[in-house]
């Protein structure tokens, strides 16, 4: 288990509460979620009470990080763009589509329906990511 101090020092993973609006700060990430951020693509265990949870995907250097996240239904995912250039979060199957996110802009989407949601940046389509929505095991 990676501890929080290590997470903070991992490239592409930033302790970003200072970049987020106050509302998001209130919902600071539990360590159990942050663990997933150091292992893009790895499925993190989620507690049953996922409806209260928020997950943040950072956009830096034209990369979504983590690239793939797995969340429980009801989870709100927030994307934050840290680049000097706008990006979008655009679902391949049109489930969601952000406006262009300028520097430090955020986009939130609450995933209610289980499934796999691929997304990309409509400006820089080589940037891709995914959200897997499924009920927590047990």
Per-residue burial over 109-136, b if 16 or more Cβ lie within 10 Å, else e, is bebeeeeebebbbeeeeebebbbbbeee
Residue 117 within binding range of other proteins, rule CB under 8 A: no
Q: How far is the CB of 104 from other proteins (least distance, A)?
A: 11
What whole-number distance in Å separates Cα of residue 127 and Cα of residue 129? 7
Instruction: Kindly indicate which of the ranges 15-23, 25-33, 45-53, 115-123 contains the residues binding other proteins, using the contact rule CB under 8 A.
Output: 115-123
Q: Identify residues 85-104 at the interface with other proteins (CB under 8 A).
A: 85-86, 88, 92, 99-100, 102-103
Candidate list 19, 27, 124, 134; residue touching other proteins; CB under 8 A: 124
């Amino acid at each position: 288990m990676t501890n929080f101090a290590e997470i903070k020092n991992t490239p592409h993973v930033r302790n970003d509460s200072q970049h987020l609006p106050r509302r998001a700060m209130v919902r600071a990430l539990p360590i159990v979620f942050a663990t997933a951020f150091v292992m893009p693509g790895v499925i993190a265990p989620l507690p049953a009470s996922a409806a209260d949870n928020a997950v943040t995907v950072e956009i830096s250097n034209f990369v979504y990080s983590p690239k793939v996240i797995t969340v429980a239904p009801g989870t709100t995912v927030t994307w934050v763009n840290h680049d000097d250039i706008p990006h979008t979060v655009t679902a391949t199957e049109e489930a969601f589509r952000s406006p262009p996110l300028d520097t430090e802009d955020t986009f939130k989407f609450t995933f209610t329906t289980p499934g796999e949601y691929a997304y990309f940046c409509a400006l820089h389509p080589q940037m891709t990511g995914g959200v897997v929505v499924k009920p927590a095991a047990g």
